């Protein structure tokens, strides 16, 4: 185990206490049983994929269900749910006409917490797993001299096509350009990606050989960005050395991974639109075997956000039915995006 805060390698760390907490999802035994059955199906699919060195189409549904639930069932996911609730409450308070900018420091001390934050995040993520079924799934077979590592929150969602967009979310389950990485072991990992936007330069369907240390370093670096406290690896010296070279300044606590925009109507200060989003990872991914397709490279960066995969939206409509679309309240005059520190407008939107 490698502890991020202390920057310390702990050899032969005891398994007891790792990646677990009593009653993390509440005390409903039925939920534990459901997760156990889901894990069993996923374990069969993962073993079969590793044995064949490729992910077969029939194994994708079980893996997708596992990815969606695993993303929502970690302490980090619970902390992010609480951070979203806190930012929402703070933004609502700052919009109240009785709160002056000099009171913002006191507002910043406010905290909100779900009664069972991990159960909440798990319910959200598990209900959205089907949206990922349109992605392309491959097994990364690591043939380099460095092993894959994992973290205590190992699901990574990234969007290489939208790198450079920092003021809104680009890693929603239906976002165009979405990528997902999950290590299966020291020599295997899952890569799911939007094949409309990205193309692999080599490899058979369902499998991808990874031979370059530089590619493994980048994939391992993503684990640092999503980790809570610890990274895990086999104890291999070369891999341990590669961990020491990671950019630890990019690691942020969960409450700093949530972005917020508050827009206030110029005509009605009581009316506010609040946008919460996961901050994009501060990294530039450049894998040798995965490139942005030429047709999408010419899209202006400002036009890449808020684009969604058509097949993902179709899948969601098939599962949920056509969503109701309530009419937005009308507003005369501009809306101003407000600086959360000063209360002053930043720009019109």
274 with 92: CB under 8 angstroms? yes
pLDDT of residue 6: 95
How far apart are alpha carbons 153 and 169 in whole angstroms? Answer: 19
- Residue 151 counted as domain residue: yes
Side-chain-facing half-sphere of 329: CA atoms under 13 Å = 9
For tokens 């009653």, name the residue: 23
Predicted structure pTM score = 0.90
Report yes or no: 219 and 141 within 8 Å, Cβ to Cβ: no
Q: Evaluate whether residue 20 is within a structural domain.
A: no
Domain of 121, in residue numbers: 2-7+26-320+333-348
Please report how many Cα atoms fall inside a 13 Å half-sphere around the Cα of residue 81, on the Cβ side: 21
Continuous segment of H or E residues that includes residue 62:
helix 60-72
How many structural domains comprise the chain? Answer: 1
- For residue 146, the model assigns a pLDDT of 98
In which region does residue 137 sit, left (phi positive, over 0), alpha (psi from -120 to 50) or beta (all else)?
beta
Residue 304 to residue 295: CA distance in whole angstroms: 13
Q: Would you give the DSSP letter of residue 50?
A: H
Confirm whether 327 is domain-assigned: no
Per-residue model confidence (pLDDT) at position 223:
98
Instruction: Evaluate whether residue 13 is within a structural domain.
Output: no
Residue 183's DSSP bridge partners are 189
pLDDT, residue 232, reads 97
Position 347 scores a pLDDT of 55
Q: Does 325 fall in a domain?
A: no
* Distance in angstroms (rounded) separating the CA atoms of residues 121 and 338: 28
Residue 171 belongs to some domain of the structure: yes
What does each of the 349 residues of the chain score in pLDDT, given as a tens digit? Answer: 999 999 999 999 888 878 777 878 777 778 888 989 999 999 999 999 999 999 999 999 999 999 999 999 999 999 999 999 999 999 888 888 788 888 888 888 999 999 899 999 999 999 999 999 999 999 999 999 999 999 999 999 999 999 999 888 999 999 999 999 999 999 999 999 999 999 999 989 999 999 999 999 999 999 999 999 999 999 999 999 999 999 999 999 999 999 988 887 777 766 778 889 999 999 999 999 999 999 999 999 999 988 999 999 999 999 988 765 555 554 455 677 777 667 677 754 4
Predicted confidence at residue 206, as pLDDT, reads: 96
Tokens of 15: 């398994």
Residue 17 covered by a domain:
no
What number of H helices and E strands is found in the chain? 9, 15
- Residues 56 and 139: their CA atoms lie apart, in Å, by 9
pLDDT for the residue 349? 45
């Amino acid at each position: 185990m490698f502890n991020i805060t202390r920057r310390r390698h702990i050899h032969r760390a005891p398994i007891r206490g790792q990646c677990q907490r009593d009653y993390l999802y509440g005390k409903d035994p039925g939920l534990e049983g459901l997760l156990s059955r889901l894990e069993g199906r996923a374990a069969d699919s993962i073993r079969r994929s590793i044995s064949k060195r490729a992910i077969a189409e029939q194994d994708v549904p079980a893996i997708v269900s596992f990815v969606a639930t695993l993303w929502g069932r970690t302490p980090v996911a619970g902390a992010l749910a609480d951070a979203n609730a806190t930012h929402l409450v703070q933004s609502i308070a700052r919009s109240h006409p009785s709160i002056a900018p000099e009171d913002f420091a006191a507002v910043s001390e406010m905290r909100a917490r779900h009664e069972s934050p991990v159960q909440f995040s798990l319910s959200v993520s598990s209900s959205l797993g089907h949206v990922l079924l349109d992605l392309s799934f491959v097994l990364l077979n690591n043939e380099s001299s460095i092993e894959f590592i994992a973290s205590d929150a190992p699901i990574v969602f990234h969007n290489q096509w939208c790198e450079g967009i920092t003021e809104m979310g680009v890693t929603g389950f239906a976002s165009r350009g979405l990528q997902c990485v999950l290590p299966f072991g020291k020599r295997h990992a899952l890569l799911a990606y939007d094949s409309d936007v990205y193309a692999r330069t080599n490899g058979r369907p369902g499998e991808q050989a990874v031979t370059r240390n530089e590619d493994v370093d980048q994939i391992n670096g993503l684990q640092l960005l999503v980790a809570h406290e610890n990274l895990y690896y086999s104890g291999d010296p070369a891999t341990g050395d590669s961990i020491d070279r990671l950019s630890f300044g990019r690691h942020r606590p969960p409450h700093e991974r949530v972005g917020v925009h508050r827009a206030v109507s110029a005509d009605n200060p009581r009316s506010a639109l609040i946008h919460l989003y996961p901050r994009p990872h501060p990294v530039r991914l450049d894998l040798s075997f995965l490139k942005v397709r030429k047709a999408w490279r010419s899209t202006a960066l400002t036009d890449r956000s808020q684009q969604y995969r058509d097949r993902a939206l179709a899948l969601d409509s098939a599962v949920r039915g056509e969503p109701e679309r309530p009419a937005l309240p009308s507003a005369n005059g501009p809306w101003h995006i407000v600086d959360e520190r000063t209360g002053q407008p930043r720009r019109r939107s």
